Chains A and B, each alone.
Chain A
Amino acid sequence: MDCYTANWNPLGDSAFYRKYELYSMDWDLKEELRDCLVAAAPYGGPIALLRNPWRKEKAASVRPVLDIYSASGMPLASLLWKSGPVVSLGWSAEEELLCVQEDGAVLVYGLHGDFRRHFSMGNEVLQNRVLDARIFHTEFGSGVAILTGAHRFTLSANVGDLKLRRMPEVPGLQSAPSCWTALCQDRVAHILLAVGPDLYLLDHAACSAVTPPGLAPGVSSFLQMAVSFTYRHLALFTDTGYIWMGTASLKEKLCEFNCNIRAPPKQMVWCSRPRSKERAVVVAWERRLMVVGDAPESIQFVLDEDSYLVPELDGVRIFSRSTHEFLHEVPAASEEIFKIASMAPGALLLEAQKEYEKESQKADEYLREIQELGQLTQAVQQCIEAAGHEHQPDMQKSLLRAASFGKCFLDRFPPDSFVHMCQDLRVLNAVRDYHIGIPLTYSQYKQLTIQVLLDRLVLRRLYPLAIQICEYLRLPEVQGVSRILAHWACYKVQQKDVSDEDVARAINQKLGDTPGVSYSDIAARAYGCGRTELAIKLLEYEPRSGEQVPLLLKMKRSKLALSKAIESGDTDLVFTVLLHLKNELNRGDFFMTLRNQPMALSLYRQFCKHQELETLKDLYNQDDNHQELGSFHIRASYAAEERIEGRVAALQTAADAFYKAKNEFAAKATEDQMRLLRLQRRLEDELGGQFLDLSLHDTVTTLILGGHNKRAEQLARDFRIPDKRLWWLKLTALADLEDWEELEKFSKSKKSPIGYLPFVEICMKQHNKYEAKKYASRVGPEQKVKALLLVGDVAQAADVAIEHRNEAELSLVLSHCTGATDGATADKIQRARAQAQKK
């Protein structure tokens, strides 16, 4: 523990402050810091320097240079400033550099000096110029507040969603306020300003004068004010060298301090830790740094060089030409362990572990002491916590080793805290590395979250490190590795000097099929950079066609989009593209496109069938699809047309189409239908009744049923109804009429082409056994048995069957024999069978 506390400075009785070096800077500054506009982002963020030529009334013949460095002084970007005079620089929460120009324009640059966008703080500023500007952070994002030449304030609480608020006028304000700051309270941004001995609070409704409680008398002017990182506290520095510290609401005084230095300080910032009771303010003059708090004495440091203070969540960073240091209150756990002669359990455990390593029995004594007090758990926790607050890996290690040692003597100590601390420290040490230059403390890291840290690494294009961290922490791929790879790919497509093929290949090699990577997003980015070909190449890797299509449409590659949509099998997607194409192309081209895509074509046809019949016809016409065209007109003939003339005309068109399609069969049939329609019309006129839309068969039947036999026969001849069919038709119709006389006449008109069995069947269906028997006798020999069975003459059937010596017929008859009545017949058959077998 030799002199470990050497850099600890007590402030009052209860707190120590220590300052240690983060980096030695070799950024080789050409300018003095005091000649520059400086902006350093919180959470170990980057530093921007702009030599300010406008402050000195020199002619701006030499264009100034805007340099951006990492916190460790590694150059990130350097660009010649070509715009107007800059009043103030600041970093947004997304680590974008906001440069507020004198004319009220705010230029936004990325970390690498890439210009992002710009916006204006209002027209009023154009004439009055901007006197001063502040960039501040709220829970909504980053805000900008400006003070114009007319001594009016304008602010925007979130530059991402720009809404300008012009603050009310401060009555009687003739000159610029001696100091001012933006405050954020209850989600509303205010301006606090000091004019002479008076303080005013501006919200967007009113300007009110405020007085800090317990302010020492004799103040004629406020020289400096500082708001804490969380906007909870406020410090005021007066021209009497007096510092007032209180809450930002100005309702309560915390403490005061008189430093007796009347020179205006260069910077004043709060230095406090979250959840600590200690409040302290760091005040910097040209060569002096003072930490003041609720104590009669202050801590004083000498500044060898021009320095700049960056307030952080849990301390203050101080950088100069050669060094970068961190000043903070020593955290409780560290204090407990390292305080001289501390008997805290953590301190004892650390000691025990050291003795153990020396193989000394003292280890046991220390351990026993802790255990007797029952504080071993607490000791381990203390060591773990303290490790988090140490900057040097060596010290982190010894503390963790002590914790690990202590853990061995505990039955049930949940391992999470230890494991997580090890992981967190490993990540922290990695990003604190000189080359990365993000000097985060443990508290800042926890506040920032790992996701944001990863974002920041991505922003610095430190993809490999980000991926390693993801893999090390085993983050889910979608949140971790995939997301970073996707960012990498989006960066990659912007490299204009690499050919499309190479970029696409490189991206695919790295990304492969990593889940959660959207190639279409990357392609969209490529398209955004004007690289359409690359975008198309990248889309090839996109496995989900649904994602490819919208971008392809946007890039006006509709035909490609169509084939992709078809590949996807998602008909809705196909339809979307179709409608797009329909509007984009002229009709002819549209149809031609469809022609090569049968799937899309049938989909569109289906739609047209219901919604745009005319288009359907055009489609068939275009394809010379006469067959379908014919079908289309046939459908029209009974679905769309009402009048006979219209229907016949439609049929005629259909017939023509069928001829063109060389489908004579269909054409003839259609012509027949036309003739039939005309005829039916005539029949209706002459005979009355309903004929239209009956089939030919039904027409003839209706005629017979109506007793118009002549006409029926004429019709049958005209339409060449085959004889067989006509006979069946007539037979059925006459039987339905029960016109047995006519039926008999008909049966004798000539030899029946269908034989006489049907006559028997039909008569039996009408239950006319008498008539049936008449015909049964005329049935030809091969069907005789069947006929006889039908009329129920089993005995005779048996005789015939025996005569025929037909085994099948015999069994048929036998199956019809019912035991009681046909016993004799059955015997007869059996006998005949037996005889047949003998032979």
Chain B
Amino acid sequence: MAFPHRPDAPELPDFSMLKRLARDQLIYLLEQLPGKKDLFIEADLMSPLDRIANVSILKQHEVDKLYKVENKPALSSSEQLCFLVRPRIKNMRYIASLVNADKLAGRTRKYKVIFSPQKFYACEMVLEEEGIYGDVSCDEWAFSLLPLDVDLLSMELPEFFRDYFLEGDQRWINTVAQALHLLSTLYGPFPNCYGIGRCAKMAYELWRNLEEEEDGETKGRRPEIGHIFLLDRDVDFVTALCSQVVYEGLVDDTFRIKCGSVDFGPEVTSSDKSLKVLLNAEDKVFNEIRNEHFSNVFGFLSQKARNLQAQYDRRRGMDIKQMKNFVSQELKGLKQEHRLLSLHIGACESIMKKKTKQDFQELIKTEHALLEGFNIRESTSYIEEHIDRQVSPIESLRLMCLLSITENGDARCSSDTHYGPEHLLTFSNLRRAGLLTEQAPGDTLTAVESKVSKLVTDKAAGKITDAFSSLAKRSNFRAISKKLNLIPRVDGEYDLKVPRDMAYVFSGAYVPLSCRIIEQVLERRSWQGLDEVVRLLNCSDFAFTDMTKEDKASSESLRLILVVFLGGCTFSEISALRFLGREKGYRFIFLTTAVTNSARLMEAMSEVKA
């Protein structure tokens, strides 16, 4: 079922080196503070840290107790405190309060702050303002790339999305450039570079500067990775807003995959405790179904179960020797497989329970209608109903955004007081980030707003539809969709078992825009002929190509492609590109600031009461 790669597909580089590098550096930093110490870890860093160095490694390096950084006074009695944090002002204040409390109590301890992945001047400023700059020593743990899987590197910086796309804060771009620099020093230069988006361009230029400053190091090395493609999340919000239906994406939407592992609750494990499961290529069962459309998964799993049973059954006719062999060699693997299988079957059941109800079908139908741009009226009323039912604010917001982007209109409904005042801010955030779009920037917006609000207050909510149809103008998404043929024309049923194109990740209804762009550019080896698309994406100034005029390096390396998602990517996109790779004999490597999905996107934009 899982499709094998073409025989000429290149091998993936070994990314475990990145882990070793990060671990060694952390150990070095810990040893800079000799003696027993307590380690305070920021919650966001716990999972990534766990993938790099487990507790026993920390203990080996004289870490005594582990605490979570939270807004509570520390109970630690150690003479040395070490903080492992993201460079956030909030954290600085926490540390400052701790240190100042110690000072008041006349206690002197050693404090060390390790910033990951880098420290910011603003943080040091705060330490200084709080009057403890001289009391703490600062270090950087340049741990910016966590290999979540053989082909997936995550920077684990979910805040990148909000910081850059909402607040316009560019500080993480340098971190991205550093990460690219690290990759190119470890795995050779990238001969061909493409990118789209303002942030992509900035990151690319910063990275180039870094390379130039230290040139000579990568020169002459044989490139391993032939192409690099940088893409801003705001080039394609639509794909990220859609409900995911490939298995991995669905698991993420349902259970939330965190740092490559997922907590399966009792309803999945069919026992009374939950279980943390690592989801990656090492899980044989998962590896075969992760990229499958969900409708195939169950069939596959039951087939697998039958096979497994058959393998178990073989022992019936065995003699003692064969049995001994079986027990010593195969049984363990079978048992492992058995365990995984039952887990995934449990997960499937749980998903089915939640998703295969009428609601989900309707939801998907509405999404597809929005993507294809027909039955807008029906979709709008569906969304209204969704709001009326107050099912989930996040879901409603997501649908409104989807409607707004695909129809290029402002889908504002007066739901703020109904969800709470902070959502008024959420709306303003969404609009600023471009998730709720305006037909024309500037003054017309207020006109549209007042129109919508009047309609709403007139209690003629049904007329919102008319308001939108009056706004209905050929939207950019429509035009892009047409240009890039994102909605495949299918005669008859789309066979999800044997997908023909990347649209299968959305049940054959839509080819993810981001992936299509990548496909097109790689085919042309440039942006040539895509001018119109680039213009429609409002990225005319930010689409770039950079090819080194090297002779055709071995085709092997040219088929290895690094795709960098700035602002996060979804598992659906990963699946789609994996599919593309199998079709064309490429291998994709993904580098993302974080793995995201529609809910995370919305939550990042939401204002929540602290």
Taking Cβ atoms with an 8 Å cutoff, the residues of A that contact B are 515, 543-544, 569-572, 575-576, 579, 598-599, 602-603, 605-607, 610-611, 627, 631, 634-635, 637-639, 651, 662-666, 668-670, 672-673, 676, 693, 695-697, 719-725, 727-729, 732, 754
Determine whether the beta carbon of A673 is less than 8 Å from that of B129: no
A572 to B140, CA, bound (A): 14
Considering only CB atoms, which chain A residue lies closest to B173 in the complex?
A: A569
A582 to B183, CA, bound (A): 38
CB of B421 within 8 A of chain A? yes
A-B pairs under 8 A by CB, number: 141
18 additional A-B pairs beyond A603-B170, A605-B167, beta carbons within 8 Å, are A569-B177, A569-B206, A570-B206, A575-B120, A575-B125, A606-B163, A607-B125, A634-B425, A635-B422, A637-B421, A673-B416, A695-B418, A696-B418, A697-B419, A722-B461, A728-B388, A729-B390, A732-B389
Considering only CB atoms, which chain A residue lies closest to B422 in the complex?
A: A638
Determine whether the beta carbon of B209 is less than 8 Å from that of A572: no
| Whole-angstrom distance between the Cβ of A679 and the nearest chain B Cβ | 12
Determine whether the beta carbon of B461 is less than 8 Å from that of A634: no
By Cβ-Cβ distance, the 9 closest A-B pairs, closest first, are A602-B168, A571-B171, A610-B89, A665-B453, A572-B121, A725-B388, A665-B449, A697-B418, A695-B420
CB of B610 within 8 A of chain A? yes
Contacts of A579 in B (CB 8 A): 125
Contacts of A576 in B (CB 8 A): 121
A50 to B22, CA, bound (A): 66
| Whole-angstrom distance between the Cβ of A479 and the nearest chain B Cβ | 14
Query: Which residues of B from 163 to 209 have beta carbons under 8 Å from A?
Result: 163, 167-171, 173-174, 177, 202, 205-206, 209
Query: Which residues of B from 119 to 174 have beta carbons under 8 Å from A?
Result: 120-122, 125-126, 129, 163, 167-171, 173-174
Considering only CB atoms, which chain A residue lies closest to B609 in the complex?
A: A638
Determine whether the beta carbon of A610 is less than 8 Å from that of B168: no
From A603, A611, A719, A754, B388 is in contact (CB under 8 Å) with A754
Determine whether the beta carbon of B459 is less than 8 Å from that of A720: yes
Determine whether the beta carbon of B456 is less than 8 Å from that of A722: yes
Q: What size tier do the contact residues of chain B reach?
A: 35 or more
Q: A544-B209, A697-B418, A722-B461 are in contact. Are A670 and B170 (CB under 8 A)?
A: no
A635 to B428, CA, bound (A): 12
A665 to B452, CA, bound (A): 8
Considering only CB atoms, which chain B residue lies closest to A570 in the complex?
A: B174
A676 to B417, CA, bound (A): 9
Contact indicator per residue, chain B 352-363, by CB within 8 Å of chain A (1) or not (0): 000000000000
Determine whether the beta carbon of A543 is less than 8 Å from that of B389: no
A651 to B215, CA, bound (A): 56
Q: A569-B173, A697-B418 are in contact. Are A575 and B121 (CB under 8 A)?
A: yes
Determine whether the beta carbon of B417 is less than 8 Å from that of A719: yes
CB of B77 within 8 A of chain A? no
List 27 A-B pairs, Cβ < 8 Å.
A543-B209, A544-B209, A569-B205, A570-B174, A572-B120, A575-B121, A579-B125, A599-B168, A603-B169, A634-B422, A634-B425, A635-B607, A663-B449, A664-B453, A665-B412, A665-B414, A668-B457, A669-B414, A673-B416, A696-B418, A720-B457, A720-B459, A724-B388, A725-B387, A728-B385, A728-B389, A732-B390
Listed residue (B89, B170, B419) with the most chain A CB atoms within 10 angstroms of its CB:
B170
A598 to B198, CA, bound (A): 14
| Whole-angstrom distance between the Cβ of B296 and the nearest chain A Cβ | 19
Query: Which residues of B from 71 to 112 have beta carbons under 8 Å from A?
Result: 89-90, 93
CB of B407 within 8 A of chain A? no
A122 to B345, CA, bound (A): 92
Contacts of A598 in B (CB 8 A): 168
Listed residue (A572, A607, A662, A728) with the most chain B CB atoms within 10 angstroms of its CB:
A572
| Whole-angstrom distance between the Cβ of A437 and the nearest chain B Cβ | 37
Contacts of A754 in B (CB 8 A): 385, 388
Contacts of B449 in A (CB 8 A): 663-665
A637 to B610, CA, bound (A): 12
A571 to B177, CA, bound (A): 13
| Whole-angstrom distance between the Cβ of B323 and the nearest chain A Cβ | 42
Determine whether the beta carbon of A638 is less than 8 Å from that of B421: yes
Determine whether the beta carbon of B446 is less than 8 Å from that of A663: yes
Contacts of B224 in A (CB 8 A): none
CB of B66 within 8 A of chain A? no
A515 to B610, CA, bound (A): 51
Contacts of B417 in A (CB 8 A): 669, 672-673, 676, 695-696, 719
Considering only CB atoms, which chain A residue lies closest to B425 in the complex?
A: A631
A581 to B167, CA, bound (A): 22
Considering only CB atoms, which chain B residue lies closest to A661 in the complex?
A: B446
| Whole-angstrom distance between the Cβ of B212 and the nearest chain A Cβ | 7
Query: Which residues of B from 450 to 464 have beta carbons under 8 Å from A?
Result: 450, 452-453, 456-457, 459, 461
CB of B319 within 8 A of chain A? no
A576 to B416, CA, bound (A): 39
CB of B550 within 8 A of chain A? no
Q: A607-B122, A669-B416, A720-B459 are in contact. Are A571 and B421 (CB under 8 A)?
A: no
Contacts of B390 in A (CB 8 A): 697, 725, 728-729, 732
| Whole-angstrom distance between the Cβ of A237 and the nearest chain B Cβ | 59
Contacts of B607 in A (CB 8 A): 635
CB of B424 within 8 A of chain A? yes
Contacts of B446 in A (CB 8 A): 662-664
CB of B234 within 8 A of chain A? no
CB of B491 within 8 A of chain A? no
Contacts of B384 in A (CB 8 A): 724
Considering only CB atoms, which chain A residue lies closest to B130 in the complex?
A: A611
| Whole-angstrom distance between the Cβ of B541 and the nearest chain A Cβ | 16
Listed residue (B121, B177, B419) with the most chain A CB atoms within 10 angstroms of its CB:
B121
Query: Which residues of B from 411 to 458 have beta carbons under 8 Å from A?
Result: 412, 414, 416-422, 424-425, 428, 446, 449-450, 452-453, 456-457
Listed residue (B421, B425, B446, B610) with the most chain A CB atoms within 10 angstroms of its CB:
B421
| Whole-angstrom distance between the Cβ of B111 and the nearest chain A Cβ | 20
Query: Which residues of B from 372 to 427 have beta carbons under 8 Å from A?
Result: 384-385, 387-390, 412, 414, 416-422, 424-425
| Whole-angstrom distance between the Cβ of B470 and the nearest chain A Cβ | 17
CB of B272 within 8 A of chain A? no
Contact indicator per residue, chain B 325-340, by CB within 8 Å of chain A (1) or not (0): 0000000000000000
A729 to B388, CA, bound (A): 8
CB of B50 within 8 A of chain A? no
Contacts of B424 in A (CB 8 A): 631, 634, 666, 669-670, 673
Contacts of A602 in B (CB 8 A): 167-170
Considering only CB atoms, which chain B residue lies closest to A729 in the complex?
A: B390
From A569, A627, A723, B170 is in contact (CB under 8 Å) with A569
Determine whether the beta carbon of B171 is less than 8 Å from that of A610: no
Listed residue (B419, B425, B609) with the most chain A CB atoms within 10 angstroms of its CB:
B425
Contacts of B202 in A (CB 8 A): 569
CB of B213 within 8 A of chain A? yes
| Whole-angstrom distance between the Cβ of B255 and the nearest chain A Cβ | 23
A607 to B206, CA, bound (A): 23
From A515, A575, A669, B215 is in contact (CB under 8 Å) with A515
From A603, A696, A725, A727, B171 is in contact (CB under 8 Å) with A603
A554 to B609, CA, bound (A): 44
Considering only CB atoms, which chain B residue lies closest to A789 in the complex?
A: B358
Contacts of B420 in A (CB 8 A): 693, 695
Contacts of B461 in A (CB 8 A): 722, 724-725
Determine whether the beta carbon of B388 is less than 8 Å from that of A722: yes
| Whole-angstrom distance between the Cβ of A677 and the nearest chain B Cβ | 9
| Whole-angstrom distance between the Cβ of B458 and the nearest chain A Cβ | 9
Determine whether the beta carbon of A722 is less than 8 Å from that of B125: no
Contacts of B450 in A (CB 8 A): 664-665
Considering only CB atoms, which chain B residue lies closest to A671 in the complex?
A: B417
| Whole-angstrom distance between the Cβ of B532 and the nearest chain A Cβ | 28
Q: A569-B206, A722-B456, A722-B461 are in contact. Are A670 and B167 (CB under 8 A)?
A: no
| Whole-angstrom distance between the Cβ of A720 and the nearest chain B Cβ | 6
Q: A544-B213, A575-B121, A575-B122 are in contact. Are A611 and B457 (CB under 8 A)?
A: no
Determine whether the beta carbon of A673 is less than 8 Å from that of B459: no
A15 to B425, CA, bound (A): 97
